[in-house]
Structure 1
Amino acid sequence: MVHEWQSQVVKNCGRPAFGDKFVCSLRDTEVEKSTLKLEVQCFDKYSRNAVLGEVRVALRDLKASQSLVLCEELQKSTKDVVGEVLVSLKCLPISQRREVGLLKAKTAPPCSTANKNVHARIDVSCRRHKQKPQKSRPRAHAPLIVFNETFLFHMPEPSAWDCTVLVSTCEADSDPRHLIGQATLGNTRASDAADHWHLMRKSVQQPVAKRHPLLI
């Protein structure tokens, strides 16, 4: 992601008009491979914003030297793969805990030349009950980030198998928080994430590591 902006919030309106303007500079080579993504969200200050839809336009298809007005229908929002994260899971039934090991992450290098740090946040929820999130130590933003940290979460039976683990990588010193990508693990997730969860159940007290895509 090269640039990211957020418009003002328009309240209580079925046909909102924003009037925001955003400016960025791109080289010709960047224009050829860049896509403009417009995402409309339903704002909720107490929880995560619900995504209503998106519009994507390849910049190479536009005449950048002219002022354009686009009118497109919102499409179902999709996620983009921006990297991958290597995570280990370990079941500790005697202590009723699950160990989440954050090993490595591969991401695109930062767009600017400024030195930036990255941290990861681990969120665990069991049957809609969220446990206190835990954060990694900051690491330098690089194509390969080595964390090598473990996090313990209390997961009493039998609800432990209905849990979801969310791994979020963010720029540590940006305001507002700049999300790099997220990976979701759990029994009810896509096949790869579910396979990892099943292997953890079979390998009691042994860590099982697997790579998962970082999405945004």
Structure 2
Amino acid sequence: MKVIPDVLPHCDPVVDTKLYFGRSPVQPGEFVNSRVSTSAPKLDVQLFDRGEKLVTIAVVDSDVPNVEKDGFDYRMHYLAVNVPISAVSTKVDLSKLSSDSQVVLPWLPPVAQKGSPYHRLSVFIMEQKDSKPLDFAAVKAKETTRDNKLLRTLQARYHLKAIGAHLFRTEWDSTMAEVMKENGYAEVDMELRRKRVEPLPYKRRNPSTFR
């Protein structure tokens, strides 16, 4: 279940990050029902230093199947900047951040296609350089796509430092098809199947050439 270095090369967790869907806490790596995760989660980010920090919060799926290349892509499910946290102000409701000055990409419910392995959804808290605000309009104008948006690229572009993380998982469940249809996922009718790997000739049972 590691997302380092898949998503980011390094994270120095100096804040304690808890995640909730509704009032239910989610343990790191726990599976979350697809219907439950249609609403953005809440975070409790405990900072132990004095003063206030401005952070960027990103939620990334690093297990989006790419059938053509027989591998996986990334999808950005949420991106917000200029989020203040402090030792006494720890609560962050992702659904209530400002669309005018903070939310770059609003919450997109995570999904997993039928037949695909589970998906890891990583939540990263990244300190902005010198805790100064980013130019929201400029960031929003540039970061318009979700698919294959690499968090490490954003980290370098905006000089961000990962200081906290959390992780939950999603998989195909009884409500997933409904959730996918409601949110416009084109892959709802596609079922992934593992490719059959042909055995090497010398490993086949009674190959004709050996008879």
Is TM-score (shorter-chain normalized) higher than 0.5? no
Larger helix fraction of residues = 2
Q: Which one has a larger percent strand, Structure 1 or Structure 2?
A: 1
Q: Indicate the TM-score class for this superposition, using the shorter chain for normalisation.
A: 0.3 to 0.5
Give TM-score scaled by structure 1 length.
0.40
Taking structure 2 as the reference length, the TM-score comes to 0.41
